[in-house]
Structure 1
């Protein structure tokens, strides 16, 4: 009972309901993620290079707007308006897809969706940090990632269920786009009525004309050392391609990826709690070790059972890393520049992921399918060692 009470401590009203909002929004988004490429090519007749262009523009937009949104949130000293605007834009983008007659409209819809994601992310993470004591940040961000990932697991399953009820030769994608609006709209409703603005960011007299609070040297060092890992952390598409090359059907791939998301969702809160007890850098770098083991496994795997096991183990990496990393950024920033720090960090990761994925594609084609996984494992181990040495030298209290 003590453990359960300890797990509940720090999960404030805002943290809980922001998790619900994120879960509902991810159900909506992930319902469409595997369907949109098929809709583009099979229904609208778009070539494959346009599919890549649309996703590239969408993700680059999100990365840029995360930086801009964080700075605007800090300048305004407000969080909730940016979070509401961001989730609302993403919700509106879903039914817009149902109206698409050409690929240009799909690009517009994806652009609106990613602007929404970029606008809300930095302010939302700063709102979470401002809604709970810092000794519970690991648990709070872990809980949020758990809810977000649970939605990511349920979304594709909902899409599969809907597709299985439709004629295989002519599925009604536009109907699914309209249905996806429902959980997104519910998420916005929960956000409006149950999430409150955190205490206002303190401003000194004349703060409107005051210079922005700079990022700390520790934040810059952490971001640079984490970037070593990010340069090897390519898109999960390459894990899926490896599974497909081993003979996985599309259904098997979706089930394996859903299994990864469910394990991640189940473990994210306990590992966040553990990071509050043992130290966030220590816990996060253990996640890098798991990542290196998983990527080495994908490089060497030659049997299908290995792929199932590796996807499951990959869920442990997510739980030990992603929410905890956000908590570290919260520690390395202040109330006055926290949203900006979140935006700079997450925006940089978005651009680095794009670079890592481009490099992984070249390694896959020009060297071998194992090469991107070996490169990713090496980058993870180098970043793990560098961060461990840095944290030890700085004697960080978190």
Structure 2
């Protein structure tokens, strides 16, 4: 029987490098968003540059969630091919999601202790990006278990992909009412906050990451991830990514057209926070970036030499965790809210170089047998390209690298 994993075997360059490259891109976009937001003076914040910086800041969280979904699909499919039953697959993937969720709670505890004396205790229960990635992974594990445990005539990958796409669309469509007329106010606010980001402030907060709509990006990644593992894809991989790019552009234009129509599905219209049209536009952007990243890493100079983005992408949780303190925390390298554009940009460059150095040090230490808790930096392709290795739990592709924030 032909080894279906063979097209993913690591060569001189990795065919899955685009995953790490995209995650590294999300890190850079995250750095610039946080640095300019933390350091720029009120006057500098009125500039067009800052407006576009914040617009770019709408991408890191969707990118991290989208890539978590893709990675989840690749690992789940590999376990299916190895004959692992739906129950063990669900247990291991849901458990990994719970671990990520626990890291999110630990991060909130750390932030609270660092800010002891002025941070409210409610910050411990804030729904941040790590929490949402963990919850999304648990929901994806549950969804895959339901599909795999249900009989059906359609191929498993097709059923999984279609179900994931349907869940993503459903999350998008349910977001407007769950933020307004359907708010589950009967829930305690710490639980309701995971639905619509209400926190303890009486209404949904745009700076939080509730399941609706954010988990939708993870399920969109789950759908494309199963498509990437299809038999046809392995023979026409380049063509699929080109189609994904074209589809992404079409999705963006179609969503813009829908949004321009005089009639809307919901009485309350909030384009930037709950609109299904904005959700589809961002999914379209994710597909377009996926295509561009694949082209850059597969046929372009993305892997000709050392790639800072691929390196950052392999340690994304670490650099996310650390850079926050040097940007927003007590040890911020610049005084907050008083900087001009030049000084803030120099600070951004320093943060980028420092995080890259930290990432390289992490990789070097791992090579010496040092294994910090945050992740295994084995390249994505090597984790997926070991057909003779027994797998009883998700490979390290689902490690905490699938995180970040905006």
TM-score by length of 1: 0.36
**Relative to total residues, which structure has the larger helix share, 1 or 2?**
1
| Greater relative contact order (CA < 8 Å, ≥ 6 in sequence) | 2
